[in-house]
Amino acid sequence: MSSSSKTPYLMTGPGVLFFAALLGVPMLLTFLLSLHAYDFNTGVVPGWTLTNYVDVLGDSYFHKIFGRTFGLALLVTVICALIGAPEAYILSRLSNPWRSIFLLVVLGPLLISVVVRTLGWALFFGGKGVLTMVAQGLGFTDAPVSLMFTFTGMTIALVHVLVPFMVISVWASLQKIDPQSEDAALTLGASKFTVLRRITLPQAMPGILSGSIIVFALTASAFATPAIIGGRRMKVVATAAYDEYLSTLNWPLGATIAVLLLFANIVIIVSYNKLVERRFSKVFE
Amino acid sequence: MPFLTLSNLTKSFGEFTAVKDMTLSIEKGEFISLLGPSGCGKTTTLQMIAGLLEPSAGRILLDGKDITKTPPNKRGLGIVFQSYALFPHMTALENVAFGLEMRGVGKAERVERAHKALQQVKLDQFTHRFPKEMSGGQRQRVALARALVIEPPVLLLDEPLSNLDAKLREDMRIELRLLQQDIGVTTILVTHDQEEALSMSDRIVVMKDGDIAQIAAPLDLYERPANTFVSDFVGKTNLISGTTTGPDSVTVDEEDLSLPGHGQPTGQTVTLSIRPEKFHLSSDQTGHEVQVRAAIFLGSSWLYRVESSMGDLFVTQPNTGMPGFGRGDKARISWPEGAMTLFSEAA
């Protein structure tokens, strides 16, 4: 083998080792851990078993948590698409300097830690927070209004965290649209709204769909926001796994939940991606 | 009465005036080319006719009606864009049928007419392909069918052939012209390619810096250009600087040339334009002595660059099947008096 054909391997080698050591090994260990039983007196029991999987898959408590997680992911994805796609479209129609300014405003939140942003929402949502003050000030209610530990609160906070990913993704596909195709539709007699619906939106669809994958995956595995806003009352899969590890100290069960989350996420995203590709491979590059 | 009239049409972008006070009348069924270098305002003019740009001043009249303020989706003109601007998420048939759908044509009739339009451009094999699955030439035909299927009063073509390779471009010129003549649709072509304009148009409008430099039929434009810009831009030419020495003669670097009735005062600096193919290059003893500096074989003809007492000249000679002159050969050059066009401006 000549030295030049080794070059690619040598160059990617460090990166591969890095990921293998820091991502692959922990994941493998987590998977192996999930195959052990746990005893409250003696800890992790040696010997392989699938009891953890049987437990989680057969327990209505976990069904509810998984259901809530993917319901939340679906809802957040839909809302992000409904907000992010028009937002990206309007951004693409602005002229500079407004475009740059608003793009910064949209992407700005990404510069702040998720935890800090979520704590901000917690202040806003809390019983003595801004939301309560506004609601009481406007005379809607006398009682405190709290969205803390609610599904609605989690949804709002997650949408805020994740909508920039949708905007970036839709923005990228809007950039690829030939503006003359909109002119062409216009000259063929289409109204401006018809152009938007029949010409622009379908061409932005790949961006909306790939943005949806990102938002869905990030929501399904989100930890910080559900932990702070949802707390123990509104557990999602990620916080449930965390609690098994750190509260109950049942590491194998926590590992099982984590592995199942990863598996479900992969299955959903891969099949969705297949669907999208089959639909669009003929149409777009 | 002309079918389409542009009257004093002007478009400014801030300080810059892209089209200046343009007035043009186009007859029904005519094929007009707007020809000029990039930035001359030809595309801006087309976009104003299409309704995609609002004129700063002036009016556009179509069939007697003022359409200056009519939005593009109410004008009903057919446009082929430079990028073709096909809808990538629709098949060829859907692309073509779109305009009919917008006009409220029923589904069955729509499909039938779209099929017929695709047949017209010889694409009936590709009705269910997406633009991505077609070649540049096929996409171009879909764009043409899409513009024609709505039976527009005016067809606007914005550099439609510029993205095609040379051979296909020549074939499409002929096809496009034949199709246009068969249908009889009034057509405006925007192009920077003088060959394209010469080969397809009834009349050519040469534009420069937002102004009309000349309007003429192709042969007139080529043989009797109005100024040095047109003569240089349309076809190849040799521009030679000289001075009038009398009512019938011009001197170029002490070489006296006879040019009867040129109509310029004596002692004036003038520019002579002679097309390369009007020269006759020979090895006999008549004409001015020249030396061949470069000889390029082009298949159907030879292109020579020769050094003469009037400066370097480009000369083309038809290929007669005999070997041509070589680099460094001495030869004699001559041309008929009528081959010279005289301009009072300096080159």
pLDDT in tens, B2-46: 899 999 999 999 999 999 999 999 999 999 999 999 989 999 999
Whether residue B136 has pLDDT greater than 80? yes
Does the beta-carbon distance from B132 to A283 stay under 8 Å?
yes
Choice among A263-272, B81-90, B123-132, B332-341 with the minimum mean pLDDT:
B332-341
Which residue in the set A188, A203, A284 is minimally distant from B98, CB to CB? A188
pLDDT in tens, B66-96: 999 999 999 999 999 999 999 999 999 999 9
Picking from A255, A268, A261, the residue whose alpha carbon sits closest to that of residue A236 is A261
Query: May I ask the CATH class of domain A60-283?
Result: mainly alpha
- Tally the residues of chain A: 285
State the pLDDT confidence band at B347, using cuts at 50, 70 and 90.
low
Q: What is the mean pLDDT of residues B197-212?
A: 95
Does the beta-carbon distance from B79 to A184 stay under 8 Å?
yes
Q: Round to whole Å and give the CA distance between A163 and A158.
A: 8
How many CB atoms are located within 10 Å of the residue B8 CB?
12
In this structure, are residues B16 and B39 in contact, taking their beta carbons and an 8 Å threshold? no
Q: Determine what percent of chain B is predicted with pLDDT higher than 70.
A: 99
Does the beta-carbon distance from B51 to A187 stay under 8 Å?
yes
Q: Which candidate in B43, B67, B89 is best for mutational testing of the A interface (most A CBs within 10 A)? A: B89
Task: Show the low-confidence residues of chain A (pLDDT under 70).
Answer: 1-3, 285
Which of B131-138's residues contact partners 24+ apart within 8 Å by CB, and which partners?
A: B131/B84, B131/B86, B131/B87, B131/B88, B131/B92, B131/B95, B132/A282, B132/A283, B132/A284, B132/A285, B132/B88, B133/A282, B134/B92, B136/B163, B136/B164, B136/B165, B136/B168, B137/B164, B137/B168, B137/B172, B138/B92
Choice among A134-143, B134-143, B288-297 with the minimum mean pLDDT:
A134-143
pLDDT in tens, B210-265: 999 999 999 999 999 999 999 989 988 999 888 888 878 888 877 788 887 777 88
Give the pLDDT score at B79. Answer: 96
pLDDT, greater one: B311 or B213: B213
Token output for B79? 């446009």
Does the beta-carbon distance from A282 to B132 stay under 8 Å?
yes
Q: What is the mean pLDDT of residues B130-142?
A: 92
Q: Round to whole Å and give the CA distance between B245 and B86.
A: 60
pLDDT, greater one: B346 or A104: A104
Whether residue B47 has pLDDT greater than 80? yes
Give the pLDDT score at A232. Answer: 85
Is B52 within 8 Å of chain A by CB? Answer: yes
Chain B: nearest CA to A92, how far in angstroms?
Answer: 19
In this structure, are residues B150 and B100 in contact, taking their beta carbons and an 8 Å threshold? yes
Q: What is the mean pLDDT of residues B265-273?
A: 86
Does the beta-carbon distance from B82 to A282 stay under 8 Å?
no
Burial class (CB in 10 A: 0-12, 13-18, 19+), A172: middle
| Cα nearest neighbour of A180 on chain B | B85
Strands of B4-13's sheet, edge to edge?
B16-26, B4-13, B57-62, B65-66
State the pLDDT confidence band at B117, using cuts at 50, 70 and 90.
very high
Is A205 within 8 Å of chain B by CB? Answer: yes
Q: Round to whole Å and give the CA distance between A223 and A123.
A: 18
How many CB atoms are located within 10 Å of the residue B141 CB?
25
Q: Round to whole Å and give the CA distance between A237 and A243.
A: 10
Does the beta-carbon distance from B89 to A184 stay under 8 Å?
no
- Chain A residues whose CB is inside 8 A of the B87 CB are 181, 184-185, 199, 202-203
Greatest extent of chain A over all pairs of C-alpha atoms, in Å: 80
Give the 3-state secondary structure of residue B307.
strand
Which residue in the set A180, A194, A284 is minimally distant from B83, CB to CB? A180
Rg (CA), chain A: 23
The H-or-E segment that residue B293 falls in is strand B288-297
Is A194 within 8 Å of chain B by CB? Answer: yes
pLDDT, greater one: B123 or B265: B123
Does the beta-carbon distance from B130 to A285 stay under 8 Å?
no
Mean of the per-residue pLDDT values of chain B: 91
Beta-carbon contacts of residue B71 (< 8 Å; ≥ 6 apart): A186, B51
